[in-house]
Structure 1
Amino acid sequence: MPPVTPTGASAGTVGPPTWLPLAAVSVTLTFWASAFVAIRHLGESFSPGALSLGRLVVGALCLGVVALSRGLPRPTRRQWASIAAIGVLWFGVYNVALNAGERYVDAGTAVMLIQVSPVLVALLAAMFLSERFTAYLALGLALAFGGVALIATGSGAAADRSAIGVVLCLLAATVYAISLVLQKPLVARLPAIHVTWLACSIGAVVCLPFAGQLVRDAREASAVDLWWVVYLGVFPTAIAFTTFAYALRTMTASSLGVTTYLVPPLTILMGWALLGETPPPMTYFGGALALVGVAVARRKPRTLAAGPPVPA
């Protein structure tokens, strides 16, 4: 997801229409929520690696058009190392793990698990960026992972199978959190769109070993499913990242972070309407407890934890 470094308008300039930031946020959240549903739908047609490669190639091409229109990026060697790590972890491992996880759990359950990312970010920031480890963070961690435990054990007869999906989704959340900590010093010196495009392109390269599987899956997939892959690359990836970056320039990160609590209900509603799936009853309680944990961990302002989690 784009970096959490909003910048204010310079003095004396005319601000954008008040409805534009709200429209940008609405577009971002809707596309991100729909991504979980699309991934779940495509789980029977595309393997996790093939779906990741297809989405990232489309996303990198679209992001490249926007990024190159703003000039060529010139990262230093050290910055390239961080961008490469983000590309491997955030775009490579994250996408493959999430795609695999949604073969075992429904879209609503997956998004509630990913929502623990800000707690992990706050923990990593306390460990590696010298941010304070507060009582709020400790309590938030306990609540969030208590919610995860409820999600993992709340699927009845399918608990063993769902546990695999829970672990994979938590892996996705963890590598995202690591990537955001790596990203913090980068975005202070490089444009957000360039960092996102380069990392997405590296993620696509990392997923190239799945090219043969992508070709085989694409041959057997229906035209509708192929369009869903294109949709994932264009809308939840390229367009949603762009509208989110715009929203960050016109809103505070903390205000924008609150809006991401809308992603789980949006995903659950879309999953019910399009796939006829809803999370098991206990998952709602676990998801609510996890979100309470995130809110508690954010009780004290923190630069990274205030940023929204990356949905899909």
Structure 2
Amino acid sequence: MSTREVPGSGSLWRGLALVSLAGVVWGTIGPGAQVLHDRSGLGSLTVTAYRAVAAVAVLGLVVGLTGRLATVVRAARAEWGRVVVVGVLTAAFQALFFVAVALAGVCVVTVVCLGFAPVLLLAVDGVRDRRLPSGGRAVSVVVAVVGLLLVTFAGGAGENAPGPGPGILLALAAGAAYALSTDVAAPLSQDLDTLTITTATVGVAAAVLVPLGLVATAVRGDPFTTSDATSWWLIAYLGVFTLAIAYALLFTGLRTTPSGAAVVATLLEPVTAVLIAVLLLGEHLTAAGVVGSLLIVLAIAGIGRASEPPTPQ
């Protein structure tokens, strides 16, 4: 099912807005996961598996209620190769990121993972186009990464990291998986509607994450369930909003937004996480955090001006 449209500057900014909103939603993952861990004692990969189940359940319900099951299956089968690649890369990003956080701490992993993704896409686009990226885009990426550094370390966090070396390597791998999944999903979003691409790719990701979570839970001896009702509501939120809905926003935005610009736009994730910590968890935002947040917002605006909407394939 084609969703091609004639791109323009207005659609580019709408796409950036949707991708930025996805970043804002993703910014609630860290605080939510921390509360969930404290209340339930569930392992990170266990939570990731339950998130995937919740996301697939709500997407399947929407597909069923709209009577579009046959249409979604038919459209996804037509693009099965890229659907599988995006789904597997999405699963890899989710799993690698959570394991990296456990080894190296959320601050370091956030910087390495989210900072590496736009830089990698900048290099990939340069190789693909056989020319250096535009100066405006390169400057925007640098400004975004500097802002990310300031925001992430604004609180002067000193985390106990049991395995910083392996954690950083896994964070780099997670950043690569995130960047490449976004890059592959960009042309796919031109050919599939939002419900189809989200349901199909999240379904593939769940097929990877659920058995991985079950095996990891069994091997580590972590609990499989919790008696805390609030924890299950948090798991439902993390699955429905930060996986199903956030990726739907991302894929919709990618229809009119270059993948490199989209990855920069999602850097609103750490900004949101910091604001939640300040407003709800009693933490303080330093001057460096304010400057970093402003730099990320300016970088998103700058990369929007330096980018052109993707041409429908």
TM-score (norm 1): 0.67
CA deviation map 1:143-199 (0-9, x unaligned): 445556667887475486696666655543331110121122222222232122111
What amino acid is the match of 1:42?
L
Return closer, same or farther for 1:149/1:241 CA change in 2, 3 Å cut-off: closer
User: For residue 63 of structure 1, what is the aligned residue in structure 2?
Assistant: 59
RMSD across aligned C-alpha pairs, in angstroms?
4.6
Answer with 281-290 or 229-238: which moved more. 281-290
1:33 lines up with 2:27 in the alignment: yes
User: For residue 191 of structure 1, what is the aligned residue in structure 2?
Assistant: 193
Is the 8 Å Cα contact of residues 52 and 95 (structure 1) preserved in structure 2?
yes
- SS of corresponding position for 1:46: coil
Answer with 256-265 or 81-90: which moved more. 256-265
Answer with 284-293 or 41-50: which moved more. 284-293
Name the CA distance, whole Å, in 1 between partners of 2:162 and 2:295.
Answer: 22
Name the CA distance, whole Å, in 2 between partners of 1:94 and 1:204.
Answer: 12
Name the CA distance, whole Å, in 1 between partners of 2:250 and 2:184.
Answer: 19
Q: Provide the identity percentage.
A: 23
Name the CA distance, whole Å, in 2 between partners of 1:76 and 1:204.
Answer: 16
Answer with 259-268 or 45-54: which moved more. 259-268
What amino acid is the match of 1:135?
G
User: For residue 46 of structure 1, what is the aligned residue in structure 2?
Assistant: 42
Return closer, same or farther for 1:245/1:149 CA change in 2, 3 Å cut-off: closer
What amino acid is the match of 1:36?
G
CA deviation map 1:255-280 (0-9, x unaligned): x9698675444322222344445678
User: For residue 137 of structure 1, what is the aligned residue in structure 2?
Assistant: 137
Is the 8 Å Cα contact of residues 112 and 168 (structure 2) preserved in structure 1?
no
1:236 lines up with 2:232 in the alignment: no
Return closer, same or farther for 1:140/1:242 CA change in 2, 3 Å cut-off: closer
What amino acid is the match of 2:48?
S
Answer with 230-239 or 216-225: which moved more. 216-225
The CA deviation at 1:29 is 6.1
CA deviation map 1:94-122 (0-9, x unaligned): 11233234445458984896377445434
Return closer, same or farther for 1:99/1:277 CA change in 2, 3 Å cut-off: farther
Answer with 266-275 or 236-245: which moved more. 236-245
- In terms of fraction of residues, the more helix-rich structure is 2
Pairing of 1:1-312 with structure 2 (within 5 A): 7=5, 31-43=25-37, 45-68=41-64, 69-70=67-68, 71-75=71-75, 79-90=79-90, 92-103=91-102, 105=105, 110=110, 114=114, 117-128=117-128, 133-146=133-146, 155=156, 157-158=158-159, 168-207=170-209, 208-213=211-216, 216-220=222-226, 222-242=228-248, 253=257, 263-277=269-283, 296-303=302-309
Name the CA distance, whole Å, in 2 between partners of 1:105 and 1:281.
Answer: 23
TM-score (norm 2): 0.67
Answer with 106-115 or 26-35: which moved more. 106-115
The CA deviation at 1:64 is 2.2
Is the 8 Å Cα contact of residues 83 and 201 (structure 2) preserved in structure 1?
yes
Return closer, same or farther for 1:137/1:166 CA change in 2, 3 Å cut-off: farther
Return closer, same or farther for 1:209/1:241 CA change in 2, 3 Å cut-off: closer
Return closer, same or farther for 1:246/1:79 CA change in 2, 3 Å cut-off: closer
- SS of corresponding position for 2:74: coil
What amino acid is the match of 1:100?
V
Is the 8 Å Cα contact of residues 111 and 149 (structure 2) preserved in structure 1?
no
The CA deviation at 1:201 is 1.2
The CA deviation at 1:200 is 1.0
